[in-house]
C-alpha cells in the first residue's frame, strides 16, 4: 500500500503548506466519505439490525431477536438447499475458471502470430451482457433442439438434459460463466508477460525441464495474480445470481437445483408476496459470514504461496 | 524466431550444412515446428469455441423464425423479419435510451468522483489518509448482498424507487475499485510535476484538473469503459428498482420479454434477436476502445 511513510517527521516538503494540503486532501476525498457513510456504513449496520427484526418496509421493524437465524438454520427447507447449490457451484467454477484462464493465457503468451486477433476472440464473450449470454446458452444447450445436443446425438453420444435435469443445471451455468473468462485471462496474460526472461534461461541452464520451469518459475512469479483472481472468483461465485435467475427462474429451475443463496435472499426480500426484509437480511449476514471466513482463510493461506517480488521491506 | 521467409523444411535442410560449425545440436527447430502446429490448432479451436456461439446467434437472427433450431449455418432465406418483429412488439428503442442514460450518467459521475478521490489519496498528505485508504480497500471486498436491502430501503425513503436514480446516482460518490486503480496510476506520475505547479501558484484543484487528469487519461478511459460495460449489463439493479416497463433498461426488458412468453412458449427468434441488439453497442464500444480495455485490465491486477 502507501509507499510514503510520513510519521511524525515533517521530512522534505514545506511545512507551512501542510494544513492547506490536509484541508484540500479532506475535501478531495469527501465524495467517497459521504458515499461510504450513506451507502456503505449505514446499510451495513442497518442490515445487521434488520436481521434481528420482522420488517416489510411498510411498517417499522419489529424486534424478534434471533428468531430469523433460528428459523433459517433449523426450520427452512430451501436455505440448506441454496447453500449446498452455491457451494457445489463455487467448487466447480472457481478452480475451472482459474485453470482455464491461466491455460488460455499461456497459449496466448506462446503464440507469435495473430496474437491480437486471438486475444480479441477470447475476450469478446466477456463483453456480452450477462442476460444475453444466459439466453444464448440456454438456446445452444436446449436439451431437445439445441445445437449441442443435436450434434451429440448425430455422433451417437448421450445428450444431457442441460437445463431440465437437476444434475446438469449447475454445470450449465459453469459453462456459461467459463465462456466469459476474458478478464481473468487478460490479467494472467499481463502477469505472464511480466515474468523476466532471464529467470527461464537461468532455470534452463540449471537443467529444469518445461514442467519444472512452469512449477518453479512461472507459478511463483504469477502467484500475485492467482491470489487476486481467486479472491474475486470466490466472492463472485458465492454471490452468483443473474445466470441462475435468468436461465432458470426465481425458484432455481428443476428441483430448485439452481437456487443460489443470493437468489433465495432476493426472493424473500423482493419476490411477489414476500417483502421479508428481516429474514432476507439474516440470509445476507449468514452469507457475509461465509464469505468473510473463506476470504480470511484465503488471505492467511496466501502468505504461504504468494510471492511478492518487491516485498523487501518488513 | 527465424526469419519468416524460410519455411521450416528449408531451415531443416540448412542445418546439417551449418551443423558442423554450430556448437549445439539444432533439431530443436523441428520440435518447435510440431509444437507450433499444435499450438496453432489449439488456438484456432479455442477461438471457435469462444466466437462460434456468437456467430451462430447472429446468423440465427437473420433466419426465418421457424429455423431457430435448424442445424444449418446459413439461413435458408435471409430475412430481417425478426428485427422488425422485435421492434414492433416491445419498446426496444425506449429501453435502449434508458440504458444509455443510466450508463452515461453512471460513467460521468464515477469518473469525476473516483478520480478526484484518487488524487487526494495519491498526492495529498492529510491526517488519517492511510487508514481511510485501507477502508476503501475494505469496502471493495464487502459483498454487495449485505448492503442490498438497506440500500433499497434508503432509496425508498428518498422516494426514488421506480426511477432510474438508484441505478447510477451511487456513482456520484466514487467506487472503491476505480479509486484504487486510479490512485495506482497517479502514483506513477512524478511528484516533481505537482511541486513545480505548486510553486507556480496552481491550486490543488487546478493540479488535479489540468495536470493529473490529462496524464492519467488512459486509466480514465479504462474506468469509463468498465463502468459503461457494468451499467449496460446490470440486471440486478433494474430488477430491484424498476417496476414500470417504460423505465426498463435492456437487461430487464429482455428478461420481461422472455417472461411474457410463458403461455405461448418461448419465441426464441425474438429473444435471440433482442439479445443481438442488446450486445451490438457493447461490441462497437469494445472495438473503438479495445486498447484501453486490454491495458486497463492488464494493470488492475499487477500494481498494488
Determine the distance in angstroms separating the CA of B20 from the nearest CA of chain A, rounded to an integer. Answer: 23
Closest CB to B150: pick one of A33, A50, A270: A50
Nearest chain A residue to B125 by CA distance is: A22
Q: Can you give the residue range of the structural domain that contains A169?
A: 77-305
Determine the distance in angstroms separating the CA of A195 from the nearest CA of chain B, rounded to an integer. Answer: 12
Residues of chain A positioned with their CB less than 8 A from the CB of B293: 123, 127
DSSP string covering A196-220: -HHHHHHHHHTT--HHHHIIIIIHH
Q: Is A26 contained in some domain?
A: no
| Interface with A, mutate which of B31, B47, B53, B273 (most A CBs under 10 A) | B53
Q: Which residues contact B35 (CB under 8 A, 6 or more apart)?
A: none
| Interface with A, mutate which of B143, B155, B192, B302 (most A CBs under 10 A) | B143
What CATH number is given to the structural domain containing A161? 1.10.3720.10
Tell me B171's DSSP state. G
**pLDDT tens digits along B52-109:** 999 999 999 999 988 888 888 889 899 999 999 999 988 999 999 999 999 999 999 9
Is pLDDT of A176 > 90?
A: yes
Q: How many Å is the Cα radius of gyration of chain B?
A: 27
Nearest chain B residue to A101 by CA distance is: B46
Closest CB to B47: pick one of A2, A47, A122: A122
pLDDT at residue A230, as a whole number: 93
Average pLDDT over residues B31-49: 83
pLDDT at residue B300, as a whole number: 62
Q: Alpha-carbon distance B86 to B83, whole Å? A: 5
What's the domain count of chain A?
1
pLDDT at residue B266, as a whole number: 76
Q: Is A14 contained in some domain?
A: no
Least confident of A61-65, A104-108, B184-188: B184-188
Residues of chain A positioned with their CB less than 8 A from the CB of B33: none
Q: Where are the domains of chain B?
A: 8-14+25-85, 86-302
> CA nearest B234: which of B160, B137, B143, B164?
B164
- A54 beta partners: A62
Residues of chain B positioned with their CB less than 8 A from the CB of A13: 125, 195
pTM for this prediction: 0.86
CB B139 within 8 A of CB A35: no
Residues of chain B positioned with their CB less than 8 A from the CB of A131: 233, 235, 250-251, 254-255, 275, 278
Q: Is A237 contained in some domain?
A: yes
Residues of chain B positioned with their CB less than 8 A from the CB of A261: 145
Residues of chain A positioned with their CB less than 8 A from the CB of B198: 17
In the predicted model, what is the mean pLDDT of chain B? 85
In the predicted model, what is the mean pLDDT of chain A? 89
CB A286 within 8 A of CB A302: no
Q: Is A183 contained in some domain?
A: yes
CATH fold of B86-302 reads MetI-like fold (1.10.3720)
Q: Is A60 contained in some domain?
A: no
| Interface with A, mutate which of B2, B149, B251, B295 (most A CBs under 10 A) | B149
Is pLDDT of B26 > 60?
A: no
Residues of chain A positioned with their CB less than 8 A from the CB of B302: 187, 190-191, 194, 224-225
Q: Alpha-carbon distance B132 to B125, whole Å? A: 12
Is pLDDT of B216 > 50?
A: yes
Average pLDDT over residues B170-197: 90
Nearest chain B residue to A235 by CA distance is: B143
Q: Is A27 contained in some domain?
A: no
Q: Is A83 contained in some domain?
A: yes
Give residue for cell 539444432. B26
CB B301 within 8 A of CB A191: yes
Least confident of A43-57, A175-189, B11-25, B248-262: B11-25
**pLDDT tens digits along A57-77:** 989 999 999 999 999 999 999
Average pLDDT over residues A291-314: 79
DSSP string covering chain A: -------S---SS-GGGHHHHHHHHHHHHHHHHHHHIIIIIHHHHHHHHHTTEE--SSSPPEE-TTHHHHHHHHS-SHHHHHHHHHHHHHHHHHHHHHHHHHHHHHHHHH--SSHHHHHHHHHGGGGS-HHHHHHHHHHHT-TTT-HHHHHHHHTT-----TTTSTTTHHHHHHHHHHHT-HHHHHHHHHHHHTS-HHHHHHHHHTT--HHHHIIIIIHHHTHHHHHHHHHHHHHHHHT--HHHHHHS-TT-SGGGTT--HHHHHHHHHHSTTT--HHHHHHHHHHHHHHHHHHHHHHHHHHHHH---TT----
pLDDT at residue B195, as a whole number: 87
Other CB atoms within a 10 A radius of the CB of residue A17 amount to 12
Query: Do A190 and B301 lie within an 8 Å CB cutoff?
Result: yes
CB B227 within 8 A of CB B171: yes
pLDDT at residue B262, as a whole number: 67
Nearest chain A residue to B238 by CA distance is: A242
Q: Alpha-carbon distance A261 to A83, whole Å? A: 6
Is pLDDT of A7 > 60?
A: no
Nearest chain A residue to B282 by CA distance is: A127
Q: Is A33 contained in some domain?
A: no
Amino acid at each position: 500500500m502507501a509507499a510514503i511513510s510520513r510519521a511524525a517527521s515533517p521530512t522534505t516538503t514545506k511545512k507551512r503548506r501542510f494544513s492547506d494540503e490536509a484541508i484540500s486532501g479532506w475535501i478531495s476525498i469527501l465524495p467517497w466519505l459521504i458515499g461510504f457513510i450513506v451507502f456503505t456504513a449505514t446499510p451495513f449496520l442497518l442490515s445487521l439490525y434488520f436481521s434481528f427484526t420482522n420488517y416489510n418496509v411498510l411498517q417499522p421493524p419489529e424486534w424478534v431477536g434471533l428468531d430469523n437465524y433460528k428459523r433459517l438454520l433449523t426450520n427452512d427447507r430451501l436455505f440448506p438447499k441454496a447453500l449446498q447449490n452455491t457451494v457445489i457451484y463455487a467448487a466447480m467454477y472457481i478452480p475451472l475458471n482459474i485453470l482455464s484462464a491461466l491455460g488460455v493465457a499461456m497459449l496466448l503468451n506462446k503464440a507469435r502470430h495473430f496474437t491480437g486477433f486471438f486475444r480479441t476472440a477470447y475476450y469478446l464473450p466477456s463483453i456480452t451482457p450477462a442476460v444475453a449470454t444466459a439466453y444464448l446458452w440456454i438456446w445452444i444447450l436446449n436439451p431437445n433442439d439445441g445445437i449441442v445436443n443435436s450434434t451429440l446425438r448425430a455422433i451417437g453420444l448421450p445428450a444431457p438434459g442441460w437445463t431440465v435435469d437437476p444434475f446438469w443445471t449447475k454445470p450449465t451455468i459453469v459453462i456459461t460463466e467459463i465462456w466469459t473468462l476474458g478478464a481473468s485471462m487478460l490479467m494472467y496474460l499481463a502477469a505472464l508477460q511480466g515474468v523476466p526472461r532471464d529467470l527461464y534461461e537461468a532455470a534452463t541452464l540449471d537443467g529444469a525441464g518445461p514442467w519444472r520451469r512452469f512449477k518453479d518459475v512461472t507459478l511463483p512469479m504469477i502467484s500475485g495474480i492467482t491470489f487476486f483472481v481467486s479472491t474475486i472468483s470466490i466472492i463472485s461465485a458465492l454471490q452468483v445470481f443473474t445466470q441462475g435467475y435468468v436461465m432458470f427462474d426465481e425458484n432455481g429451475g428443476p428441483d430448485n437445483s439452481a437456487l443460489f443463496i443470493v437468489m433465495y435472499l432476493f426472493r424473500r426480500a423482493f419476490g411477489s408476496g414476500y417483502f421479508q426484509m428481516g429474514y432476507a437480511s439474516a440470509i445476507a449476514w449468514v452469507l457475509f459470514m461465509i464469505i468473510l471466513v473463506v476470504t480470511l482463510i484465503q488471505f492467511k493461506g496466501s502468505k504461504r504461496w504468494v510471492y511478492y517480488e518487491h516485498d523487501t521491506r518488513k | 524466431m527465424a526469419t519468416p521467409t524460410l519455411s521450416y523444411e528449408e531451415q531443416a535442410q540448412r542445418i546439417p550444412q551449418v551443423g558442423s560449425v554450430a556448437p549445439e545440436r539444432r533439431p530443436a527447430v523441428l520440435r518447435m515446428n510440431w509444437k507450433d502446429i499444435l499450438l496453432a490448432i489449439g488456438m484456432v479451436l479455442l477461438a471457435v469455441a469462444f466466437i462460434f456461439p456468437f456467430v451462430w446467434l447472429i446468423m440465427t437472427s437473420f433466419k426465418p423464425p421457424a429455423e431457430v433450431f435448424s442445424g444449418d449455418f446459413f439461413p435458408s432465406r435471409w430475412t430481417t423479419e425478426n428485427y422488425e418483429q422485435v421492434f414492433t412488439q416491445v419498446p426496444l428503442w425506449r429501453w435502449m435510451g434508458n440504458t444509455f442514460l443510466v450508463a452515461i450518467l453512471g460513467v460521468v459521475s464515477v469518473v469525476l468522483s473516483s478520480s478526484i478521490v484518487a488524487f487526494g489519496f495519491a498526492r495529498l498528505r492529510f491526517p488519517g489518509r492511510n487508514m481511510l485508504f485501507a477502508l476503501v480497500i475494505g469496502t471493495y471486498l464487502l459483498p454487495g448482498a449485505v448492503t442490498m436491502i438497506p440500500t433499497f430501503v434508503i432509496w425508498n425513503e428518498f422516494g426514488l424507487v421506480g426511477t432510474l436514480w438508484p441505478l447510477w446516482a451511487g456513482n456520484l460518490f466514487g467506487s472503491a475499485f476505480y479509486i484504487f486503480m486510479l490512485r495506482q496510476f497517479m502514483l506513477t506520475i512524478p511528484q516533481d510535476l505537482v511541486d513545480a505547479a505548486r510553486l507556480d501558484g496552481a491550486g490543488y484543484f487546478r493540479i488535479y484538473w489540468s495536470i493529473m487528469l490529462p496524464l492519467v487519461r488512459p486509466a480514465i478511459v479504462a474506468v469509463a469503459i468498465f463502468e459503461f460495460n457494468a451499467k449496460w449489463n446490470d440486471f440486478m439493479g433494474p430488477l430491484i428498482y424498476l417496476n414500470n416497463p417504460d423505465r426498463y433498461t435492456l437487461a430487464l426488458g429482455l428478461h420481461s420479454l422472455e417472461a411474457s412468453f410463458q403461455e405461448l412458449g418461448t419465441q426464441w427468434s425474438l429473444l435471440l434477436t433482442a439479445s443481438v441488439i442488446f450486445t451490438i453497442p457493447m461490441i462497437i464500444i469494445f472495438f473503438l476502445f479495445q486498447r484501453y480495455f486490454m491495458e486497463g485490465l492488464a494493470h488492475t491486477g499487477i500494481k498494488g
